[in-house]
């Protein structure tokens, strides 16, 4: 059974909270729900009613980016060249991690608090595994490489690019270079 639609004022408050959280995450600030309430100009109880934990709010902020990655992975599975499909997907994933801090934070979390986040993460891992399996079957990726290897390596490349660069352009350039090294090492 679907939840009842929100009243207009509740929907406006929800959006204001998410927008403030998005700005805080993009600025690298921690999500403190009391601070979010103050900045969104809503009551603290309103924030907690919508988002009982900072993790729930972070996952909500990350949801559009995760949905976009799932859509990209689904599209990549329709491409003819398995190697190109995999490398394009990994490139898009790395760029998302470098431009949307919520994605890296949510993907690195050991557990999720929202069922939708768990669903998206599971789907994303499954699709990425299928992309890798196609590349294995085509003989373009070393047989020892697994998605369980690639997932933390992708997080590591994003982290290294973030730590070693102060601006977005340099982070993206560094991340792409690190990804290139990784792809070279896994190519059969």
Domain 1-52 CATH class label: mainly alpha
Q: What pLDDT is stored for residue 1 in this prediction?
A: 46
Domain 61-186 has CATH 1.10.357.10: yes
pLDDT of res. 10? 77
> In the chain, which residues have pLDDT < 50?
1
The per-residue pLDDT for range 5-57, each reduced to its tens digit, is 667 887 899 999 999 999 999 999 999 999 999 999 999 999 999 999 999 99
User: To 10 degrees, the CA torsion angle through 18, 20, 22, 26?
Assistant: -170
Full-model pTM: 0.91
Domains 1-52 and 61-186 are alike in CATH topology: no
**For the chain, domain boundaries:** 1-52, 61-186
Per DSSP, the residues of 130-188 read: HHHHHHHHTT-B-TT--HHHHHHHHHHHHHHHHHT-SSHHHHHHHHHHHHHHHHHHHB-
């Amino acid at each position: 059974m679907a939840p009842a639609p929100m009243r207009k004022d509740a929907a406006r408050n929800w959006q204001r909270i998410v927008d403030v959280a998005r700005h805080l995450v993009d600025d690298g600030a921690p999500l403190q729900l009391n601070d979010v309430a103050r900045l969104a100009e809503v009551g603290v109880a309103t924030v907690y009613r919508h988002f009982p934990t900072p993790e729930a709010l972070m996952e909500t902020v990350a949801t559009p980016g995760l949905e976009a990655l799932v859509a990209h992975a689904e599209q990549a599975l329709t491409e003819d060249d398995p190697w190109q499909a995999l490398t394009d997907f990994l490139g898009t994933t790395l760029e998302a991690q470098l431009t949307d801090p919520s994605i890296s934070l949510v993907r690195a979390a050991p557990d999720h608090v929202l069922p939708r986040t768990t669903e998206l993460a599971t789907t994303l891992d499954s699709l990425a595994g299928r992309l890798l399996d196609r590349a294995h079957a085509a003989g373009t990726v070393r047989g020892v490489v697994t998605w369980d290897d690639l997932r933390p390596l992708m997080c590591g490349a994003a982290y290294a690019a973030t730590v070693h660069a102060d601006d977005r352009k340099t982070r993206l350039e560094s991340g792409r270079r690190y990804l290139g090294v990784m792809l070279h090492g896994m190519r059969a």
